[in-house]
Amino acid sequence: MQSSLSSPPHASSHGTSNRAAIIWAALIFATMLTWLVGERGDAGPAITALLMTIAFAKGTLIILDYMALRRAPLMWPLIALGWMLLVCSMIGLAYWKGLAA
Amino acid sequence: MTPLSASNSALETTARRLPGDLAIWFFILAELLAFGVFFVVYAFTRANHVELFNAEQLTLDRTSGAINTVLLLTSSFFVVRAVQVAEAGFSRRAAPWLAAAFACGAGFVVVKIFEYAEKIGAGISLSSSTFYMFYLSLTFFHFMHVILGLVIIAAMWNGARTGRYGPDNMNGIETGAAYWHMVDLVWLILFPLIYVMR
Protein backbone atom coordinates (compact mmCIF):
# COMPACT_ATOMS: atom_id res chain seq x y z
CA MET A 1 0.00 0.00 0.00
CA GLN A 2 1.46 3.31 -1.06
CA SER A 3 1.19 6.28 1.26
CA SER A 4 -0.36 9.43 -0.15
CA LEU A 5 2.96 11.29 0.43
CA SER A 6 4.76 9.08 -2.06
CA SER A 7 2.09 9.34 -4.72
CA PRO A 8 2.98 12.31 -6.89
CA PRO A 9 1.88 14.49 -8.41
CA HIS A 10 -0.09 15.92 -5.52
CA ALA A 11 -2.47 18.85 -5.49
CA SER A 12 -0.58 22.10 -4.92
CA SER A 13 -0.49 23.24 -1.30
CA HIS A 14 1.42 26.42 -2.03
CA GLY A 15 -1.03 28.73 -3.80
CA THR A 16 -0.13 31.18 -6.55
CA SER A 17 2.66 33.73 -6.87
CA ASN A 18 0.11 36.57 -6.78
CA ARG A 19 -1.39 35.32 -3.53
CA ALA A 20 2.06 34.96 -1.96
CA ALA A 21 2.94 38.53 -3.03
CA ILE A 22 -0.31 40.03 -1.69
CA ILE A 23 0.25 38.24 1.63
CA TRP A 24 3.83 39.58 1.73
CA ALA A 25 2.52 43.14 1.19
CA ALA A 26 -0.05 42.68 3.99
CA LEU A 27 2.64 41.36 6.33
CA ILE A 28 4.92 44.32 5.57
CA PHE A 29 2.06 46.79 6.08
CA ALA A 30 1.25 45.18 9.46
CA THR A 31 4.93 45.37 10.44
CA MET A 32 5.00 49.10 9.61
CA LEU A 33 1.92 49.56 11.81
CA THR A 34 3.64 47.83 14.75
CA TRP A 35 6.80 49.89 14.19
CA LEU A 36 4.74 53.12 14.07
CA VAL A 37 3.09 52.27 17.40
CA GLY A 38 6.58 51.83 18.87
CA GLU A 39 7.92 55.08 17.42
CA ARG A 40 4.94 57.05 18.74
CA GLY A 41 5.48 55.48 22.14
CA ASP A 42 1.82 54.46 22.31
CA ALA A 43 0.98 52.34 25.34
CA GLY A 44 -1.98 50.97 27.24
CA PRO A 45 -4.35 48.00 27.19
CA ALA A 46 -5.97 48.94 23.87
CA ILE A 47 -2.58 49.33 22.17
CA THR A 48 -1.37 46.01 23.60
CA ALA A 49 -4.56 44.34 22.35
CA LEU A 50 -3.90 45.92 18.93
CA LEU A 51 -0.27 44.71 18.89
CA MET A 52 -1.24 41.15 19.83
CA THR A 53 -4.11 41.15 17.30
CA ILE A 54 -1.69 42.27 14.57
CA ALA A 55 0.78 39.56 15.63
CA PHE A 56 -1.98 36.93 15.59
CA ALA A 57 -3.21 38.06 12.16
CA LYS A 58 0.34 37.95 10.74
CA GLY A 59 0.92 34.54 12.30
CA THR A 60 -2.31 33.25 10.78
CA LEU A 61 -1.14 34.25 7.29
CA ILE A 62 2.24 32.58 7.83
CA ILE A 63 0.69 29.39 9.27
CA LEU A 64 -2.09 28.92 6.71
CA ASP A 65 -0.40 30.18 3.54
CA TYR A 66 3.40 30.28 3.81
CA MET A 67 3.60 27.11 5.93
CA ALA A 68 0.85 25.70 3.66
CA LEU A 69 -1.13 24.26 6.57
CA ARG A 70 -4.41 25.46 5.00
CA ARG A 71 -4.56 22.18 3.07
CA ALA A 72 -2.93 20.00 5.73
CA PRO A 73 -4.92 17.61 7.94
CA LEU A 74 -7.01 19.83 10.19
CA MET A 75 -5.12 18.93 13.37
CA TRP A 76 -1.98 20.77 12.18
CA PRO A 77 -3.39 24.24 11.44
CA LEU A 78 -5.48 23.98 14.61
CA ILE A 79 -2.42 23.23 16.76
CA ALA A 80 -0.38 26.05 15.19
CA LEU A 81 -3.20 28.61 15.39
CA GLY A 82 -4.05 27.42 18.91
CA TRP A 83 -0.42 27.99 19.95
CA MET A 84 -0.48 31.48 18.46
CA LEU A 85 -3.79 32.35 20.15
CA LEU A 86 -2.68 30.95 23.50
CA VAL A 87 0.67 32.80 23.52
CA CYS A 88 -0.87 36.13 22.40
CA SER A 89 -3.65 35.78 25.01
CA MET A 90 -1.21 34.94 27.81
CA ILE A 91 0.89 37.99 26.89
CA GLY A 92 -2.29 40.10 27.06
CA LEU A 93 -3.16 38.58 30.43
CA ALA A 94 0.33 39.28 31.76
CA TYR A 95 0.10 42.89 30.54
CA TRP A 96 -3.21 43.28 32.40
CA LYS A 97 -1.61 41.77 35.54
CA GLY A 98 1.17 44.37 35.23
CA LEU A 99 -1.39 47.18 35.16
CA ALA A 100 -3.01 45.92 38.34
CA ALA A 101 0.33 45.55 40.16
CA MET B 1 -7.96 -3.77 -3.74
CA THR B 2 -11.56 -3.05 -4.71
CA PRO B 3 -12.33 -0.32 -7.28
CA LEU B 4 -13.93 1.70 -4.50
CA SER B 5 -10.84 1.66 -2.26
CA ALA B 6 -8.65 2.41 -5.29
CA SER B 7 -10.67 5.51 -6.06
CA ASN B 8 -10.53 6.48 -2.37
CA SER B 9 -6.75 6.37 -2.35
CA ALA B 10 -6.71 8.42 -5.55
CA LEU B 11 -8.84 10.99 -3.77
CA GLU B 12 -6.46 11.01 -0.83
CA THR B 13 -3.60 12.15 -3.03
CA THR B 14 -5.46 15.37 -3.83
CA ALA B 15 -6.95 15.77 -0.35
CA ARG B 16 -5.37 17.32 2.75
CA ARG B 17 -1.61 16.85 2.88
CA LEU B 18 1.05 17.92 5.38
CA PRO B 19 3.89 19.49 3.37
CA GLY B 20 7.39 18.12 3.93
CA ASP B 21 8.57 15.51 6.38
CA LEU B 22 6.35 14.61 9.34
CA ALA B 23 9.41 14.70 11.64
CA ILE B 24 10.05 18.41 10.96
CA TRP B 25 6.52 19.21 12.13
CA PHE B 26 7.09 17.50 15.47
CA PHE B 27 10.37 19.42 15.72
CA ILE B 28 8.50 22.66 14.89
CA LEU B 29 5.90 21.93 17.60
CA ALA B 30 8.70 21.41 20.14
CA GLU B 31 10.29 24.71 19.08
CA LEU B 32 6.97 26.57 19.27
CA LEU B 33 6.44 25.18 22.75
CA ALA B 34 9.90 26.33 23.90
CA PHE B 35 9.53 29.83 22.41
CA GLY B 36 5.96 30.05 23.76
CA VAL B 37 7.13 29.30 27.29
CA PHE B 38 9.92 31.90 27.02
CA PHE B 39 7.50 34.56 25.72
CA VAL B 40 4.97 33.94 28.49
CA VAL B 41 7.69 33.88 31.19
CA TYR B 42 9.01 37.21 29.80
CA ALA B 43 5.51 38.73 29.86
CA PHE B 44 4.77 37.67 33.46
CA THR B 45 8.23 38.74 34.68
CA ARG B 46 7.62 42.11 33.03
CA ALA B 47 4.32 42.37 34.94
CA ASN B 48 6.35 42.43 38.18
CA HIS B 49 8.94 44.95 36.88
CA VAL B 50 6.93 47.19 34.58
CA GLU B 51 8.92 50.39 35.19
CA LEU B 52 12.30 48.69 34.70
CA PHE B 53 11.17 46.94 31.50
CA ASN B 54 9.58 50.12 30.08
CA ALA B 55 12.68 52.20 30.84
CA GLU B 56 15.21 49.76 29.41
CA GLN B 57 13.05 48.91 26.40
CA LEU B 58 13.62 52.52 25.28
CA THR B 59 17.33 51.69 24.77
CA LEU B 60 16.43 49.13 22.06
CA ASP B 61 16.56 50.12 18.41
CA ARG B 62 12.98 49.52 17.22
CA THR B 63 13.91 50.45 13.65
CA SER B 64 16.51 47.64 13.57
CA GLY B 65 13.84 45.29 14.90
CA ALA B 66 11.39 46.40 12.21
CA ILE B 67 14.02 46.11 9.46
CA ASN B 68 14.77 42.58 10.66
CA THR B 69 11.06 41.74 10.58
CA VAL B 70 10.87 42.95 6.97
CA LEU B 71 13.98 40.92 6.09
CA LEU B 72 12.56 37.71 7.59
CA LEU B 73 9.14 38.20 5.96
CA THR B 74 10.72 38.94 2.59
CA SER B 75 12.98 35.92 2.97
CA SER B 76 9.92 33.77 3.73
CA PHE B 77 8.20 35.12 0.61
CA PHE B 78 11.24 34.18 -1.50
CA VAL B 79 11.19 30.65 -0.02
CA VAL B 80 7.48 30.33 -0.91
CA ARG B 81 8.30 31.36 -4.48
CA ALA B 82 11.13 28.80 -4.61
CA VAL B 83 8.73 26.06 -3.45
CA GLN B 84 6.10 27.13 -5.99
CA VAL B 85 8.64 27.16 -8.84
CA ALA B 86 10.02 23.75 -7.82
CA GLU B 87 6.48 22.36 -7.61
CA ALA B 88 5.86 23.59 -11.15
CA GLY B 89 8.80 21.44 -12.26
CA PHE B 90 11.52 24.10 -12.54
CA SER B 91 13.97 23.10 -9.80
CA ARG B 92 16.89 25.13 -11.18
CA ARG B 93 14.73 28.28 -11.31
CA ALA B 94 14.11 27.84 -7.59
CA ALA B 95 17.82 28.39 -6.87
CA PRO B 96 17.84 32.21 -7.38
CA TRP B 97 14.78 32.55 -5.11
CA LEU B 98 16.60 30.56 -2.43
CA ALA B 99 19.74 32.67 -2.92
CA ALA B 100 17.61 35.80 -2.39
CA ALA B 101 16.05 34.21 0.72
CA PHE B 102 19.55 33.46 2.04
CA ALA B 103 20.64 37.07 1.38
CA CYS B 104 17.70 38.42 3.41
CA GLY B 105 18.43 35.97 6.24
CA ALA B 106 22.09 37.00 6.18
CA GLY B 107 20.93 40.63 6.30
CA PHE B 108 19.02 39.78 9.49
CA VAL B 109 22.22 38.36 10.99
CA VAL B 110 24.23 41.48 10.07
CA VAL B 111 21.63 43.86 11.58
CA LYS B 112 21.48 41.74 14.74
CA ILE B 113 25.27 41.67 15.08
CA PHE B 114 25.33 45.49 14.87
CA GLU B 115 22.60 45.61 17.52
CA TYR B 116 24.53 43.27 19.83
CA ALA B 117 27.80 45.15 19.24
CA GLU B 118 26.12 48.41 20.23
CA LYS B 119 24.73 46.87 23.43
CA ILE B 120 27.98 45.13 24.36
CA GLY B 121 29.86 48.37 23.62
CA ALA B 122 27.57 50.12 26.11
CA GLY B 123 28.64 47.59 28.73
CA ILE B 124 25.37 45.66 28.67
CA SER B 125 25.50 41.94 29.43
CA LEU B 126 23.23 39.10 30.56
CA SER B 127 23.77 40.12 34.18
CA SER B 128 23.04 43.86 33.66
CA SER B 129 19.34 43.53 34.53
CA THR B 130 16.36 41.19 34.29
CA PHE B 131 15.23 42.99 31.13
CA TYR B 132 18.58 42.69 29.36
CA MET B 133 18.90 39.05 30.48
CA PHE B 134 15.61 38.34 28.68
CA TYR B 135 16.39 40.57 25.70
CA LEU B 136 19.80 39.01 25.09
CA SER B 137 18.86 35.38 25.78
CA LEU B 138 15.56 35.40 23.86
CA THR B 139 16.93 37.21 20.81
CA PHE B 140 20.11 35.09 20.84
CA PHE B 141 18.08 31.86 21.07
CA HIS B 142 16.16 33.07 18.00
CA PHE B 143 19.42 34.21 16.34
CA MET B 144 20.80 30.65 16.58
CA HIS B 145 17.67 29.39 14.82
CA VAL B 146 18.27 31.90 12.02
CA ILE B 147 21.84 30.61 11.64
CA LEU B 148 20.59 27.00 11.40
CA GLY B 149 17.91 28.17 8.94
CA LEU B 150 20.59 29.73 6.74
CA VAL B 151 22.50 26.43 6.66
CA ILE B 152 19.26 24.67 5.62
CA ILE B 153 18.52 27.27 2.92
CA ALA B 154 22.07 26.84 1.57
CA ALA B 155 21.46 23.06 1.35
CA MET B 156 18.12 23.68 -0.38
CA TRP B 157 19.82 26.07 -2.82
CA ASN B 158 22.37 23.41 -3.66
CA GLY B 159 19.60 20.85 -4.19
CA ALA B 160 17.61 23.22 -6.40
CA ARG B 161 20.70 24.14 -8.43
CA THR B 162 21.36 20.49 -9.23
CA GLY B 163 17.74 19.94 -10.29
CA ARG B 164 16.82 17.75 -7.32
CA TYR B 165 13.31 19.11 -6.70
CA GLY B 166 10.17 18.72 -8.76
CA PRO B 167 6.47 17.87 -8.43
CA ASP B 168 7.44 14.28 -7.63
CA ASN B 169 10.20 15.24 -5.15
CA MET B 170 9.11 18.10 -2.90
CA ASN B 171 9.89 16.61 0.48
CA GLY B 172 13.32 18.21 0.98
CA ILE B 173 12.41 21.73 -0.09
CA GLU B 174 9.06 21.69 1.76
CA THR B 175 10.73 20.45 4.94
CA GLY B 176 13.35 23.21 4.90
CA ALA B 177 10.72 25.81 4.02
CA ALA B 178 8.53 24.80 6.98
CA TYR B 179 11.47 25.28 9.37
CA TRP B 180 12.30 28.72 7.93
CA HIS B 181 8.69 29.90 8.24
CA MET B 182 8.71 28.78 11.90
CA VAL B 183 11.76 31.00 12.51
CA ASP B 184 9.76 33.87 10.96
CA LEU B 185 6.61 33.03 12.95
CA VAL B 186 8.24 33.28 16.39
CA TRP B 187 9.90 36.61 15.46
CA LEU B 188 6.41 37.99 14.69
CA ILE B 189 5.63 37.69 18.42
CA LEU B 190 9.13 38.48 19.70
CA PHE B 191 9.31 41.89 17.95
CA PRO B 192 6.12 43.48 19.38
CA LEU B 193 6.61 41.77 22.76
CA ILE B 194 10.17 42.92 23.48
CA TYR B 195 10.63 46.01 21.28
CA VAL B 196 7.20 47.68 21.25
CA MET B 197 4.74 46.58 23.99
CA ARG B 198 4.84 48.97 26.98
Written as one string, the DSSP assignment of A37-71 is: HHHHT--SHHHHHHHHHHHHHHHHHIIIIIS--TT
**Are B25 and A16 a contacting pair at CB < 8 A?**
no
Q: What is the pLDDT of residue A101?
A: 72
**Are A20 and B29 a contacting pair at CB < 8 A?**
no
Domain edges within chain B: 21-196
Q: What is the pLDDT of residue B110?
A: 98
CATH of B21-196, one of 1.10.287.370, 3.40.50.300, 2.130.10.10, 1.20.120.80: 1.20.120.80
Per-residue pLDDT of A49-91, as tens digits, reads: 999 999 999 999 999 999 999 999 999 999 999 999 999 999 9
Q: Return the residue of B nearest to A76 by Cα.
A: B18
Looking at residues A39-52, what average pLDDT do you find?
Answer: 95
Which of A 36-95 lie inside 8 A of B, CB atoms?
37-39, 41, 43, 48, 51-52, 54-55, 58-59, 62-63, 65-69, 71-74, 76, 79-80, 83-84, 86-88, 90-91, 93-95
Q: Return the residue of A nearest to B29 by Cα.
A: A80
Domain edges within chain A: 15-100
> Which amino acid does the sequence have at B25?
W
Alpha carbons within 13 angstroms on the beta-carbon side of residue B89 total: 3
| CA–CA separation, B107 and A33 (whole Å) | 22
ipTM, two decimals, is 0.90
Per-residue pLDDT of B102-142, as tens digits, reads: 999 999 999 999 999 999 999 999 999 999 999 999 999 99
Q: What is the pLDDT of residue B14?
A: 57
Q: What is the pLDDT of residue B15?
A: 77
